[in-house]
Each structure stands twice: as C-alpha cells, then as structure tokens.
Amino acid sequence: MSATPSNVGGNTSIQELYDHIQTQPIRPGMLLKGALGPQDGEWCTVTLEDAVGRVPADEVTALDTGSDYEFFVQTVDTDVFDLSYHKAERLSLWLWLEALQKSGDAVQATIVAETRGGLAVDIHGIKGILSLMDLEAGSSRDINELKGRQIDVGIVNVREKKGQVVVSQRALTEGDRSARKAITLANLE
C-alpha cells in the first residue's frame, strides 16, 4: 500500500509515511540545503540537489560562495525557487529552542533589561522573559547588578508568534534538586 494523502490512516506504517514525505516536491516553507553560487545582479544562485534556486544577494554578502547552507523556500515557480537565508536561520533557531525545551537542557541567556515583574533576556537574538520568581534562590534582585550578566536558563515556553521565549533559572536547579532527592531516597531504601 502506498501512502498518499487520501489513504494515510491507521494502517499506514511510519516508514510509509516517511517515504511519502520524502517524495513530496519542493514547496514553500521547507528548509533545503544548497551550495551558494555566484551573484547575478540582485540575486545569488543556489544549487540544490536537483534544482536551482535564488536568494537575494544582500542576505548572503558575508557567506562564502561554493559552501553549503540551509535556505528557506519562500515561493516556487516553474523555473526557479525563491529562497531566504535569514528565514532559514531564524526557523533553525526556533526549532533549536523547541528542542531545548523538550530536552530540558540549559541555554545561556544575557540579562538586558527589567520588565514588569521580571527581566528581559537575550538568547541568540531572541527576546526572552525571566520572572524574578524564577531566578535561582539566593540571586541578587538588583537590576543594575544583573544587567549584562550571562546565566544558564531552561526554556519553559516558546511563543514563536509573539517572538519570545519564557525561561527559568529555577527550572534547572529544581530539576537537579529533584533528581538528587530521588537518588538519595533510593539509596536510603
């Protein structure tokens, strides 16, 4: 049985779904890897696996010609694909933040300003919010002392539409504390 949109259902295996996705044509919203080619006026060519795309030259001025990069497919025409390097970078960053949220791993954030009830942090160019209650126990609450400081935080919530991330420093230490507590209790038994 082949997996097509009309018959994808309860009897379709994961492998069949994966094979179906792999055979889909290039469409807007996809991330594709391609080699950056020479500049031709306002555009640079991008050589994809079996197609050619173009990206605005002003997006790739700092990149090396001939190297492979990820590009976001914006539009699909019959002859060429319009791509964006900046959108691909941003999408990759959001996907990375979502993966960090799922794994519970720490990420480094820089405290940049005070907000109502919390602090504004910068995580690789993305605005984050850190509640004062989510600061590590014993941390200073003086914004002048905290401003510019880099701290490890855990991702609590990703709000891509609002362009912000909710982070917590306590989430990291509470997780460590609960893990240590579980190990200690297991050793006591």
Residue type, 122: D
- Residue 134 near residue 175 (C-beta atoms within 8 A): no
Residue 133 has which token pair? 């209650």
Measured CA distances, 3 to 9, 21, 22, 25 (Å): 9, 9, 11, 15
Is 141 exposed, middle or buried (CB count within 10 Å of its CB: 0-12, 13-18, 19+)? exposed
pLDDT in tens, 82-126: 999 999 988 888 888 888 888 888 899 999 998 887 899 999 888
The separation between the first and the last C-alpha atoms of the chain, rounded to the nearest angstrom, is 53
| pTM of the complete model | 0.63
Q: What is the pLDDT along the chain (189 residues), one digit of tens a residue?
A: 333 444 445 566 666 665 665 566 778 888 889 999 998 889 998 988 878 888 999 998 888 888 999 999 888 876 778 999 999 988 888 888 888 888 888 899 999 998 887 899 999 888 899 988 888 766 776 777 888 889 999 998 888 777 788 999 887 777 655 666 677 777 776
